[in-house]
Chains A and B, each alone.
Chain A
Amino acid sequence: MLNFIVKRLFSGLVVLFFISLVTFIVLMWIPGDPALLSLGTDATPEKLAELRESMGLNLPWYEQYYQWLTGFLVGNLGNSYVFGEDVFTLLVQRLPVTISLAVLSMAIAIPIAIVIGVLSAIYKEQWIDYIARSVMQLGDAMPQFWLALVFLVFFSAGLGWFPVAGFTPVEEGFFASLHSILLPSIVLAIGQIGPLIRIIRSSMLSSLEQDYMLMTSVNGFTKFRSIGKYALRGAIIAPLTIIAMQLAGILGGAVLVESIFALPGLGRLLLMAVEQRDLILLQGIVIFVTGTVVVVNMVTDILYQIVNPMIRFGGSHE
């Protein structure tokens, strides 16, 4: 158990290190001259030299990487060229919007996916199952930006149920804030629901085939009771890990959704960084987002081990 945690932490750290290296190499090395890339070809030589100096480009690459990495560890991500502000500050400013979007969309997607996934497993090969699987396929095939566009046209512009654009901070009222991100969250939720239903359905199907389900029939329990207590309990743990993996997808979707609904989140910031070729800012966002994904995955993997009594006490599956 402890062994596993140490191993998992170590492999997580290796992945983090690798990500930082790749990000550094891709953004600082491949472009040739990042300063030139940021300023464009019409930059004056003085300005270029100044930016090179401030970006530390005159040092050898490994020293640049070392400085960047140590800076990163103390929260110093450098200065955004476009905004002229500290990247870390920019991230912190934009974070609430994206976190609210991610949390709300999960809060919408998970319960719905559990209900649909469980029902489609219980009524396998019946109409509920067919509908669930169609929803799944359609959810997978529908581009989120398109869905966002269509929802905007219908629910915001057409019916006027939601604001067309913009974010209301929590300080101006919880429900007003919720209202401003509800529609984008629903769009994000629809994007996640396919994979979620898939994993919950298959986990539930395998639980229903387990021998403890035979015992519930021997004991004469109703279907409701045997599913409610025994089948669900056996099905609920495996999907935990996939929910963490969804995070990468949500953050990716947030880029598109934020851009369409004009929400000032990380995704918009990222798009600006790419459009303006603000490499320092881009680097900060990439490291932050992927780092979050890695850490969350690591934590859920460890939690999974702790929550699951078969692993906690058994050390191995029987």
Chain B
Amino acid sequence: MSKLKDNKLLVFGLILVMIVISICVVSFFYLPHDPNAMNTSDRFQSPSIEYLLGTDQFGRDIFSRIMVSSQYALLIGLVSVTLGSFLGLILGAIAATSKGFVQSILMRIIDGFMAFPGILLAMMLVAVLGKGLWNAVIAIAIFMVPVFARLSYSLVLDQKNNLYVKAAKSYGASKGRIIFKHILPTILPRLITQFSASIGSAILIESSLSFLGLGVQPPDASWGLMLSESRQYTLTYPFLAFPSGIILIITVLGFNLIGDALNDSMVKRRASA
């Protein structure tokens, strides 16, 4: 009964993500218009056959821009979370397998990073590194590190006391071998769950940074940047706020739903085990 519902959530999330991924894939081969071609005679067009989602303040085709933006959103989301989860896993695993002083210092460092509001940490790094796509990726990755470090820390700690780990230890397997051969495979599902949910929030931060003018830079397109650029015209042309806003929500919702559904099924499996 409830398993069926989880599957529904998962399927719905997958559909949303598939929509975004297909848009992204198609955008590499086909775009209705040049996303950066300005056409001052066609500014603020309403949706039509020619311009599916209308045009913006420079007469650029909004649909094409949304398609191109999906590339950046997925790229930034994937790369930053991969980077962040990898570093976080290493940090968390070291903290969990070390003792006393080292452990508590590492955990305080993780706590310290947790105290930074995500966007604040990202802004701080952007201020130092400069605006731009790759700096945004680094900033978001660093934001993700403590999230994954905390999770891996508790997961590894749980596994450490398991029988098979103790057995491996008793015949003298090295620390690294134990972590990679024995512990990692068992905690991987939980990490993947967190990975999916984190991509949602990474894309959210990217769009916020771009909205503030600190992420993706013009003339490249990003959903957040599109909203920011058309901001002063939205009072007169409210429609401008919707296409990029809605695709952003669809993307984030999709990844969040997948993460939640996976997490729920995992909690249930553990409860019934």
B123 lies within 8 A of A137 (CB): no
Q: Decide if B227 touches A256 in the complex (CB within 8 Å).
A: no
**A256-B212 CB under 8 A given contacts A18-B109, A143-B245:** yes
Which residues in window 235-265 of A have CB below 8 A to B? 248-249, 251-253, 255-256, 259-260
Q: Are B117 and A252 in contact (CB under 8 A)?
A: yes
A26 touches B245 (CB 8 A): no
Q: How near does chain B come to A184, taking the closest CB pair, in angstroms?
A: 15
Complex CA distance for A252 and B234, rounded to whole angstroms: 24
B43 CB-CB contact with A under 8 Å:
no
Main secondary structure of the interface of B (DSSP, over half): helix
Q: Is the pair B127, A277 in contact by a Cβ cutoff of 8 Å? A: yes
Which residues on A sit within 8 Å (CB–CB) of B257? 137
On chain A, the residues within 8 Å of B117 by CB distance are 248-249, 251-252, 289-290, 293
Q: Is the CB of A153 within 8 A of B214?
A: no
From residue B70, how far is it (CB to closest CB) to chain A in Å?
A: 15
- In the complex, which of the residues B109, B128, B214, B260 contacts A26, with contact meaning CB atoms closer than 8 Å? B128
Chain B positions 206-226 with a Cβ under 8 Å from a chain A Cβ: 207-208, 211-214, 224
The interface residues of chain A lying within 8 Å CB-to-CB of B80 are none
Q: A101 vs B126: C-alpha distance in the bound complex, in angstroms?
A: 25
In the complex, chain A residues 245-297 whose Cβ is within 8 Å of any chain B Cβ: 248-249, 251-253, 255-256, 259-260, 270-271, 273-275, 277, 279, 282, 286, 289-290, 293-294, 297
19 contacting pairs across A/B (C-beta < 8 A): A14-B108, A15-B111, A18-B108, A18-B111, A19-B116, A26-B128, A141-B204, A143-B249, A145-B224, A149-B227, A153-B238, A153-B241, A248-B115, A252-B119, A255-B120, A255-B212, A256-B208, A274-B127, A274-B214
Interface residues of B (CB under 8 A from A): 2, 108-109, 111-120, 123-129, 200, 204, 207-208, 211-214, 224, 227, 231, 234-235, 238, 241-242, 245, 248-249, 252-253, 256-257, 260
- Using a CB–CB cutoff of 8 Å, the interface residues on chain A facing chain B are 11, 14-15, 18-19, 22-23, 26-27, 30-31, 37, 125, 137-138, 140-146, 149-150, 152-154, 157-158, 164, 248-249, 251-253, 255-256, 259-260, 270-271, 273-275, 277, 279, 282, 286, 289-290, 293-294, 297
